[in-house]
Amino acid sequence: TQLLEQSPQFLSIQEGENLTVYCNSSSVFSSLQWYRQEPGEGPVLLVTVVTGGEVKKLKRLTFQFGDARKDSSLHITAAQPGDTGLYLCAGLPYNNNDMRFGAGTRLTVKP
Amino acid sequence: NAGVMQNPRHLVRRRGQEARLRCSPMKGHSHVYWYRQLPEEGLKFMVYLQKENIIDESGMPKERFSAEFPKEGPSILRIQQVVRGDSAAYFCASSRTRTGRDADTQYFGPGTRLTVL
C-alpha cells in the first residue's frame, strides 16, 4: 500500500476548467513536495510546503498543506494544455530516511 | 548552476550483462538518492548516499544491485546480471542538506531508461 495516496489517479478536462488533486496519508510529514513529470523526463519540483495550514501560490497553481501535516492539495485555476503531465506528491515521514512518493495524478488538459 | 546530470539517458543491455548508471548531483549538493520508476507507477526509493557513505539502502534489492558515491566523481548505481524485470527508468536526485527548512527538497535528474533484452 502507498504511504501517500493521490486522487484522482487520472483526470481529463477541457482548457479553462478548474481542478483539484489530493494527496492523503495517515502519517505526519515534516514537509511535503509537489512535482510535475512530463513523459521521458525527471520530476520537476513545483513547491515545498513546510508549515501546517500553509498555502503557497505559483501563478495559477495553489498548494495547501493540511493543518495536521498529513495531507495536501493542489488546485489549478483555468487549466491550460501546458499543464498536462503527471503530478506527484512526496514527503519524508518523521524518523525515516527515505522520501515517499504517491503514485501520481495524470492530468490531461484538452484544448 | 547545472542541474542533476545523469548518463546515459538510454541504456540497452542483454540479460546477464552489467548496467552502470551515473549521476552527478547539483553543485553544492552532497546528498544523493536513487529511485526506480516503472511505467504508469510512482517513484520507488532505492538508496540514499552521502559522499563515501551509504546512509539508507532499504529500498534496494540485496542481490545484484549496489551503489556508491565516491569522494571524487559521480554516484554510480550498478546492476549486475540484469534481468528483464530490471527494465525501468532510474532517477537520481540530490539535495543540499538534510536539516532545516530545505531538508527534504530533492532535485531530480532526467533519468536513465534501462531496457533489458
The DSSP-derived string for B54-65 is: EEE-TTS-SSSE
pLDDT band with cut points at 50, 70 and 90 for residue B102:
low
pLDDT tens per residue, range A23-57: 999 888 888 899 999 988 899 999 988 889 999 99
What pLDDT, on a 0 to 100 scale, did the predictor assign at position A93? 74
CB A2 within 8 A of CB B42: yes
Query: Which residue in chain B has the smallest CA separation from A31?
Result: B104
Average per-residue pLDDT for chain A? 91
Across A52-78, average pLDDT:
95
Query: Which residue in chain A has the smallest CA separation from B58?
Result: A98
Across B37-58, average pLDDT:
88
Interface test with B, best of A46, A98, A100, A108 (most B CBs within 10 A): A98
The DSSP-derived string for B81-96 is: S--GGG-EEEEEEEES
Which residues from B are below 8 Å from A when comparing CB atoms?
Answer: 4, 6, 33, 35, 41-45, 48, 55-56, 58-59, 91, 93, 101-111, 113
